[in-house]
Each structure stands twice: as structure tokens, then as C-alpha cells.
């Protein structure tokens, strides 16, 4: 029930971190994976390492998004799964409106644009869309306003697609990771009481791994998740639900 044999899956932002882990897990489950990031060099390297296909794409470029869809169809003739993972954190604190616009463009607008292009093809396969959101989009935030707003929008986008395209057999879900061991974690304060407080707020008392997020994506893309749509799967070790005890 967790196999993806002969499915064609596009994963954006898949040359590092969560995106790469999802691409690798999809390959292991039998899918034909399109690895994609804005760096042509990184895309070529990671696709070669995974035995996948690489198509470089800047998700803020409308023509590049069209080329990503067209290239996938030319190579494989179908699209079964789309994972919109590409994203940036932006600046903390009172960032400029220019930074805000960039964060929204990469994290939310690109997902609206790419799903719009892919959905007619995914509907032919009665396939699945997975949007990578964040725990930040489910709680108030003091310093990552644009990022949190974008990720909240991503969750709502998944719900909207689920309602609009469900009658054609398309499933759409979001995944909201909590604190995961990625480059973003390395950029957070490692001294003082930040990590101590965060672990106190996480019942499992540890950060998550990219493989654990990838496992959730495989579940949602596979027949095992066949009756799940419009859902936001939180992968956070329990941070969202705890009272800090």
C-alpha cells in the first residue's frame, strides 16, 4: 500500500533537506522522480545520485514553471504526484516589504501557480498533490511574519484544491513540519535557552529528521493515503498540542 511504482512525481526544492529526502523516498518506493531546484548544477548532481531525472526551475519564474511541466510530460507522458517543497525563510523581525514579497512569491504564489499548471494533468491520473507548509503557519510568531503567513496560506490552498478537484479524483494535502534537522536548524540559536525551551515544548524531546517528513509524504502520495484529502499532517513531535509540561 506504500508503493509508488510507475508513478511520476515532481518534487520542487529537492536538492537538499526535506525535498531531497522526499525525492529519495519516492525513488525507493518505485516512482519516477523529477528532481528540481533553481540551481542547474545541484539539480544535475542530485538527480544523478538518486537515479532520477533533473529539471532545473526557479519557481518564481512563470516560464520556468511551464517548462518544468512540459519537460516532465515530454519525458514521461504523465504526472501523478506533485510535491511543492521549494521555500525560503526570509529575514527575521521587522523585514522590509521587499523581503515579504519575495517570501510570499517563493513560498505561496509559486505553489498556486505550479499547482494550477499541473492539476489538469494530475486529474487524468487521479493523482496527488502535497504542499509543504510549516508549524509556523499554525501558531502566532514574533519574528517570521512573512514565512508564517505564507505557510498558513499553503495549508488553505491544499484545502481549496481538495474541494475543487476532489470530484475528479485528485487528492491534495499539506504537511506541516516542526523543528527538523536541516540547514534551517543550524541557523537557529544553539546557545542559551532556545533549544532547552523548544525541547520542553516538544513531548518527544527531540528534533525531527528529514526522513520522518519524507515518510509522511510517501504515505500521503501512496494508496495507503487514498481516502485522505484536504488534510494538514503535522510532523512536529507533538509541539503543537503541548502545554509545555
Tell how strand 53-54 and strand 32-36 pair up. parallel
| Catalytically annotated residue among 85, 134, 147, 214 | 147
Please say whether the beta carbons of 111 and 83 come within 8 A: no
Q: Which neighbouring-strand residues pair with 174?
A: 131, 232
Task: Return the C-alpha torsion angle 187, 15, 223, 168, nearest 10.
Answer: 100
Question: What Rg, from alpha-carbon coordinates, does the chain have?
Answer: 17
Main-chain phi, psi angles of 10, to 5 degrees: -95, 130
**In this structure, is the dihedral angle defined by the CA atoms of residues 104, 108, 112 and 115, taken in order, positive or negative?**
positive
Q: Which three cell numbers stand for residue 150?
A: 505564507
Active-site residue, 211 included = no
Antiparallel, parallel or unpaired: β 81-84 and 128-132: parallel
- Give me the residue label for grid cell 525563510: 89
Q: Which residues are catalytic?
A: 147
Amino acid at each position: 500500500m506504500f508503493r509508488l511504482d510507475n508513478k511520476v512525481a515532481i518534487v520542487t526544492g529537492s536538492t537538499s533537506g526535506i525535498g531531497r529526502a522526499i525525492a529519495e523516498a519516492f525513488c525507493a518506493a518505485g516512482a519516477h522522480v523529477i528532481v528540481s531546484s533553481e540551481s542547474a548544477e545541484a539539480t544535475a548532481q542530485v538527480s544523478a545520485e538518486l537515479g532520477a531525472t533533473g529539471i532545473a526551475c526557479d519557481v518564481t519564474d512563470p516560464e520556468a514553471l511551464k517548462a518544468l511541466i512540459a519537460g516532465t510530460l515530454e519525458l514521461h507522458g504523465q504526472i501523478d504526484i506533485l510535491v511543492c517543497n521549494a521555500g525560503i525563510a526570509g529575514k527575521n523581525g521587522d523585514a522590509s516589504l521587499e523581503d515579504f514579497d519575495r517570501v510570499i512569491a517563493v513560498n505561496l504564489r509559486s505553489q498556486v501557480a505550479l499547482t494550477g499548471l499541473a492539476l489538469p494533468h494530475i486529474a487524468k491520473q487521479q493523482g496527488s498533490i502535497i504542499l509543504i507548509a510549516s508549524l509556523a503557519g499554525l501558531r502566532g510568531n514574533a519574528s517570521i511574519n512573512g514565512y508564517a503567513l505564507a505557510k498558513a496560506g499553503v495549508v488553505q490552498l491544499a484545502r481549496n484544491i481538495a474541494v475543487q478537484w476532489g470530484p475528479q479524483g485528485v487528492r491534495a494535502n499539506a504537511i506541516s513540519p516542526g523543528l527538523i534537522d536541516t540547514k534551517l536548524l543550524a541557523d537557529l540559536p544553539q546557545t542559551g535557552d532556545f533549544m532547552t525551551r523548544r525541547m520542553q515544548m516538544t513531548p518527544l524531546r527531540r528534533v525531527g529528521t528529514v526522513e520522518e517528513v519524507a515518510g509522511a509524504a510517501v504515505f500521503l502520495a501512496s494508496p495507503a493515503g487514498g481516502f485522505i484529502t484536504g488534510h494538514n499532517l503535522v510532523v512536529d513531535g507533538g509541539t503543537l498540542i503541548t502545554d509545555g509540561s
